[in-house]
A = this chain, B = another copy of it.
Amino acid sequence: MIITVVGVGLIGGSMAIGLKEQGIAKKVIGVGRDTDSLSKALTLGIIDEALPLQEAVKQADVVYIAIPVDATVDVVLQVLDLISGNQVVIDAGSTKFALCQAVKNHRMRSQLVASHPMWGTEFSGPEAAVSGAFAGRACVICEKEKSSEAALQTAEKIYRQLQMHIIYMDAANHDVHAAYISHISHITSFALANTVLEKEKEEDTIFEMAGGGFESTVRLAKSSPAMWVPIFMQNKENVLDVLNEHISQLRKFKASIEKENINYLVELIENANKIKRILK
């Protein structure tokens, strides 16, 4: 089939690569506001052709939308206005509640599958796109009952061929969980980078010492504001809840260190160690 990818960055580009490699798409058409990214994606062979949205949607069996979440709502609505018949629309946004609310009364709602493939890196743009990106990861599909059987099957088939396992969830729950499992990690990384960069103003040599632990906790701080500011805004309430909880957890460490309350400190760390149950 012909698949149009709107947004040929990290996610859209990696999706395009996967769709071609798995033989799911015989042709991938790229759409994007940034002509630089589009021509890079063409040069890299990630997309076969770049077209304006309207033309690209007309040719497509599936339209895959992977752009910042503030733009996603508008573009999904635009694309739903443009499609007809059995054309399927899938979005990959990191927040789902605002989108699901915005499309709920659209006459073509059933052709949309609202999804969130749980993969990403701190890099952006088509140069960051990689082969095999999604394998082994979870993909959340929200409000599956609002999608037609055929549209849902198309999306599920694509994600399964990319070796993702699918989790079904309502949109509000998705956004709560995403705040815990993804959004807060980015805020802590950004804040940690700023903490250390603040110090670096005084001390040039501090980073010579940086080891693997620092790199892994600060890695996400390279992530782009274009992607993350809209996520924090759309998921504001949940993100603030988690951020408040996180600050209060940090205060427990602060209090136990200040008071040299070793038993409490051990207890806090032993509790954190329970994360071993979950992470490999």
- Chain A residues in contact with chain B, CB under 8 A? 118-122, 137-138, 140, 167, 169, 176-178, 180-182, 184-200, 203, 205-225, 228-229, 232-233, 236, 239-240, 242-247, 249-254, 257-258, 260, 262, 265-266, 268-276, 278-279
- Are B254 and A243 in contact, with the CB atoms below 8 A? yes
Interface of A is mostly: helix
Pairwise interchain contact A191-B121, C-beta atoms closer than 8 A: no
In the complex, what residues of B have CB within 8 A of residue A137's CB?
211-212
A240 / chain B contacts, CB cutoff of 8 Å: 254, 257-258
In the complex, are the beta carbons of B208 and A138 less than 8 A apart?
yes
Residue contact B250 to A254, C-beta cutoff 8 Å: no
8 tightest Cβ-Cβ pairs between the two chains A and B = A190-B272, A193-B272, A225-B269, A191-B249, A193-B275, A118-B211, A185-B217, A221-B272
**Beta-carbon nearest neighbor of A122 in chain B:** B213
Q: With A233-B260, A243-B257, A253-B187 known to touch, is A181 a contact of B207 (CB < 8 Å)?
A: yes
- 28 contacting pairs across A/B (C-beta < 8 A): A120-B211, A121-B212, A137-B211, A138-B208, A138-B210, A180-B206, A181-B207, A185-B192, A185-B213, A185-B216, A188-B217, A190-B253, A191-B253, A192-B246, A195-B246, A197-B272, A197-B274, A198-B249, A210-B278, A210-B279, A219-B279, A222-B273, A223-B269, A224-B273, A229-B262, A229-B265, A240-B258, A243-B253
A229 surroundings in chain B (CB, below 8 A): 262, 265-266, 269
Q: Tell me how many chains of this kind the complex includes.
A: 2
B279 to A190, Cβ gap below 8 A? no
On whether the beta carbons of A222 and B275 are closer than 8 Å, the reply is yes
Contact of A225 (CB < 8 Å), options: B140, B215, B265 = B265
A32 to B22, CA, bound (A): 54
Contact A138–B209 (Cβ < 8 Å): yes
- Chain B proximity of A187: nearest CB distance (Å): 5
Known: A219-B216, A249-B194, A253-B190. A206 touches B225 (CB 8 A): no
Nearest Cβ distance between residue A255 and chain B, in whole angstroms?
10
> Whose C-beta in chain B lies nearest to the C-beta of A248?
B195
> Is B196 in contact with A181, judged by CB distance below 8 angstroms?
yes
C-alpha spacing A44/B194, complex, angstroms:
42
